[in-house]
């Protein structure tokens, strides 16, 4: 029986040179803009001064908040919101990777709602925020089209999330020219974030035939283009920017699941890049789901593979090709932490219980143990059985 809801508000502008549209997009939503970005790339690449000029030329007053760190903290969001409120800002422009965009979205909400960021975390739903214009500079996050802002509670060492319809940017501006500046390692990491979004959305209990369209197409494009994009192909990077947006639409509908749920620990406690954390878990999570549901076989079939084992093998091969570390152990996380990792997983139930299969504590431990052993060992064991 077919039954679903699909809601995707916001304008999406895609194309080389589209960054020049930021000013015009902002002026249709406000008069005083806060430009939210990271600490270095926007300034060093020269994009920051171009964006400020574009916004000014459109007739807006503009203030810059360029203090967003990787995995932005609640405190950073609070500082940004204070600056925005003191300047009477009425539109927020986010320029950067997932961290800058998520911070921009949270700042936009906090200015409108007041209080501190922790007052508005999931399970609360953000129903009001200043309008956001989002321009991604990496090819993975999808944040420019989602209702999520993932932040870090630095005191607790945990990833936390604000979510709600008001956080979906009013305009997403995707300019493939900005991806020329991405180092290959960043393309690899963020590309695996996007691949995880696509595959997890397909394996979500909220997946629908419509979200599957976005998920499958995103996965197909990423599997075919990520390695070339990492090596520097401009065409492949353009495809990756498009595919990461598609994967963003897929998770905006269906939500992420076990890969994100288990990967957050690695980022929150060990500063493993979010996309790399996902990459380290993805094959092991796929193998876990495949043993419990035929959805992984169906996904493999939709992507043109013979069976799920072939899909897992391809994901492992791609991870090797783009230089993702072999295992959780190889990024320096001690295996003695596994009890703590399993305990912390309870905190990420929102993601874990969103999957088509909900793992027991023992199963979570087994997935982590497999990720500690690494991809090669996983493939060996799959081929033996
Ligand atoms: Fe992600």
* Residue 78 Cα to ligand 1 middle (Å): 22
CATH value at residue 46 = 3.40.50.1970
* Residue 195 Cα to ligand 1 middle (Å): 9
Euclidean distance between CA atoms 215 and 246, whole angstroms: 7
Q: With H, G, I as helix, E, B as strand and everything else as coil, classify residue 375.
A: helix
* Residue 279 Cα to ligand 1 middle (Å): 10
Residues 156 and 209 in one domain: no
First and final CA of the chain: distance in angstroms? Answer: 35
| Residue 5 is assigned to a structural domain of this protein | no
pLDDT-derived band at 278 (thresholds 50, 70, 90) equals very high
* Residue 190 Cα to ligand 1 middle (Å): 8
Q: What is the mean pLDDT of residues 180-209?
A: 98
CA 109 to chain centre: 19
Domain count, the chain: 2
Give per-residue pLDDT as tens, 8-54.
999 999 999 999 999 999 999 999 999 999 999 999 999 999 999 99
| Residue 1 is assigned to a structural domain of this protein | no
Residues 27 and 153 in one domain: yes
Closest Cα to residue 283, out of 301, 296, 269?
A: 296
Residues 144 and 197 in one domain: no
Q: Among 178, 204, 233, where does a domain finish? A: 178
Residue 249 has which token pair?
A: 């639409």
Residues 80 and 191 in one domain: no
How far CA 285 is from CA of 33, 35, 196, 248, 366, in Å, comes to 42, 38, 10, 20, 10
| Residue 4 is assigned to a structural domain of this protein | no
Task: Report percent pLDDT > 70 for the chain.
Answer: 100
CATH value at residue 221 = 1.20.1090.10
Residues 35 and 89 in one domain: yes
Euclidean distance between CA atoms 62 and 40, whole angstroms: 19
Q: Among 114, 144, 178, where does a domain finish? A: 178
DSSP 137: S
* Residue 108 Cα to ligand 1 middle (Å): 20
* Residue 248 Cα to ligand 1 middle (Å): 9
| Residue 344 is assigned to a structural domain of this protein | yes
pLDDT-derived band at 385 (thresholds 50, 70, 90) equals confident
Q: pLDDT value at position 124?
A: 98
Residues 109 and 214 in one domain: no
- Full residue range of the structural domain in which residue 83 is found: 11-178
| Residue 255 is assigned to a structural domain of this protein | yes
* Residue 317 Cα to ligand 1 middle (Å): 21
* Residue 160 Cα to ligand 1 middle (Å): 13
Average pLDDT value over all residues in the chain: 97
Residues 197 and 221 in one domain: yes
Closest Cα to residue 55, out of 80, 87, 19?
A: 19
Residue 63 has which token pair?
A: 């203030």
Euclidean distance between CA atoms 96 and 66, whole angstroms: 10
Task: Report percent pLDDT > 90 for the chain.
Answer: 98
* Residue 193 Cα to ligand 1 middle (Å): 5
* Residue 336 Cα to ligand 1 middle (Å): 26
Euclidean distance between CA atoms 348 and 363, whole angstroms: 15
Q: Among 178, 198, 218, where does a domain finish? A: 178
Euclidean distance between CA atoms 357 and 202, whole angstroms: 12
Half-sphere exposure of 120 (CA within 13 A, CB side): 30
Residues 161 and 198 in one domain: no
Instruction: Examine the pLDDT at 208 and tell me if it is beyond 90.
Output: yes
Q: What is the mean pLDDT of residues 120-131?
A: 98
Residues 165 and 102 in one domain: yes
Residues 26 and 163 in one domain: yes
* Residue 41 Cα to ligand 1 middle (Å): 21
Instruction: Examine the pLDDT at 1 and tell me if it is beyond 90.
Output: no
Q: What is the pTM of this model?
A: 0.98
Residues 247 and 339 in one domain: yes
* Residue 351 Cα to ligand 1 middle (Å): 11
* Residue 281 Cα to ligand 1 middle (Å): 12
What is the CB neighbour count within 10 angstroms for residue 305?
A: 17
CA 185 to chain centre: 16
| Residue 378 is assigned to a structural domain of this protein | yes
* Residue 101 Cα to ligand 1 middle (Å): 12
Give per-residue pLDDT as tens, 318-355.
999 999 999 999 999 999 999 999 999 999 999 999 99
| Residue 6 is assigned to a structural domain of this protein | no
Q: What is the mean pLDDT of residues 225-243?
A: 98
| Residue 3 is assigned to a structural domain of this protein | no
Q: What is the mean pLDDT of residues 194-222?
A: 98
Residues 192 and 171 in one domain: no
Q: What is the mean pLDDT of residues 92-120?
A: 97
pLDDT-derived band at 85 (thresholds 50, 70, 90) equals very high
């Amino acid at each position: 029986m077919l039954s679903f809801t699909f809601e995707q508000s916001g304008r999406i502008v895609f194309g080389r040179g589209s960054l020049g549209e930021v000013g015009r997009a902002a002026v249709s939503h406000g008069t005083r803009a806060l430009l939210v970005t990271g600490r270095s790339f926007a300034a060093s690449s020269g994009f920051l001064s171009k964006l400020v000029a574009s916004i000014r030329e459109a007739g807006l007053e503009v203030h810059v908040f360029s203090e967003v760190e990787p995995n932005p903290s609640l405190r950073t969001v609070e500082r940004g919101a204070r600056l925005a409120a003191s300047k009477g800002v009425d539109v927020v422009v986010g320029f950067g990777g997932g961290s800058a965009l998520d911070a921009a979205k949270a700042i936009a909400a906090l200015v409108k709602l007041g209080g501190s960021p922790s007052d508005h975390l999931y399970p609360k739903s953000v129903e009001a925020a200043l309008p956001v214009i989002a321009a991604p500079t990496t090819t993975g996050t999808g944040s420019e089209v989602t209702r999520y802002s993932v932040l870090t509670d630095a005191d607790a060492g945990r990833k936390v999330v604000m979510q709600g319809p008001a956080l979906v940017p009013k305009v997403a501006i995707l300019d493939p020219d900005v991806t020329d500046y991405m180092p290959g390692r960043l393309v690899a990491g963020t590309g695996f974030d996007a691949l995880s979004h696509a595959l997890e959305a397909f394996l979500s209990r909220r997946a629908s035939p419509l979200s599957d369209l976005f998920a499958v197409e995103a996965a197909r494009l990423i599997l075919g283009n990520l390695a070339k994009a990492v090596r520097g192909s401009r065409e492949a990077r353009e495809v990756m920017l498009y595919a990461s947006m598609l994967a963003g639409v897929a998770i905006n509908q269906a939500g992420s699941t076990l890969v994100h749920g288990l990967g957050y620990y690695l980022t929150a406690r060990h500063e493993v890049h979010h996309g790399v954390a996902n990459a380290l878990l993805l094959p092991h999570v796929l193998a876990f789901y495949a043993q419990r549901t035929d959805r992984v076989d169906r996904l493999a079939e939709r992507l043109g593979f013979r069976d799920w084992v072939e899909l897992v093998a391809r994901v492992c091969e791609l991870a090797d090709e783009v230089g993702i570390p072999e295992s959780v152990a190889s990024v320096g996380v001690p295996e003695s932490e596994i009890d703590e990792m399993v305990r912390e997983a309870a905190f990420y139930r929102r993601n874990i219980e969103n999957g088509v299969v909900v793992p027991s504590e023992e199963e979570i431990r087994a997935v982590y143990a497999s990720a500690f052993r690494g991809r090669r060992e996983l493939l060996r064991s799959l081929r033996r059985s």
